[in-house]
């Protein structure tokens, strides 16, 4: 995949009816991470758009509606937490899951708490790479439950 590209996965959505699926934007510069998340989310009935890098993710956000964003904290061309801050500012009502696998060369010095800082910048949840598929799905489900659209809440109240 060329750097900075956006790919919407057509596979699973065509079978299930695209409009019924929750749409998730995954922004990461590592194609293997993107592919693993994409496959797992499709198997769990999500519509997935992959953006390789922050700029591609922001372009996707301008042109499509998403129910949730999964953003890597450290990517080329965006300095550290700039990506989390910008994505949250561009779409403050869309829950954002920040993920980071940042490792330190000097294991004797204390590492900054990047995930806590991401929460302070607007992330709803944080995942430390590597994470399990179950942890990813739990974070997604928690975010979607907490950030349900008002129309869904009203419908649930009427049905309940």
| Residue 144, pLDDT score | 96
pLDDT at site 113: 72
Q: Is the pTM of this model over 0.85?
A: no
Residue 114 has what pLDDT? 73
Count of H-run helices and E-run strands, the chain: 7, 6
pLDDT at 74: 83
| 42, 21, 69, 58: CA torsion to nearest 10 | 100
How many Cα atoms occupy the beta-carbon half-sphere of 75 within 13 Å? 28
Q: What is the pLDDT of residue 8?
A: 67
Averaged pLDDT in 10-residue chunks for the chain of 160 residues: 60 53 94 95 97 92 95 81 87 93 56 75 90 96 83 48
């Amino acid at each position: 995949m060329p750097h900075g590209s956006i790919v919407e996965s057509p596979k699973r959505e065509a079978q299930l009816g695209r409009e019924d699926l929750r749409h998730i934007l995954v922004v990461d510069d590592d194609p293997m991470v993107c592919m693993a998340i994409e496959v797992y989310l499709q198997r769990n009935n999500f519509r997935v758009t992959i953006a390789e890098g922050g700029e591609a993710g922001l372009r996707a956000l301008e042109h499509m509606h998403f129910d949730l964003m999964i953003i890597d904290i450290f990517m080329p061309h965006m300095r550290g937490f700039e990506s989390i801050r910008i994505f949250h500012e561009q779409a403050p009502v869309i829950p954002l899951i920040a993920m980071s696998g940042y490792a330190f060369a000097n294991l004797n010095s204390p590492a900054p708490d990047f995930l806590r800082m991401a929460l302070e910048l607007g992330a709803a949840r944080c995942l430390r790479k590597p994470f399990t598929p179950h942890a990813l799905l739990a974070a997604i489900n928690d975010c979607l439950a907490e950030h349900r659209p008002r129309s869904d809440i009203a419908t649930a109240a009427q049905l309940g």
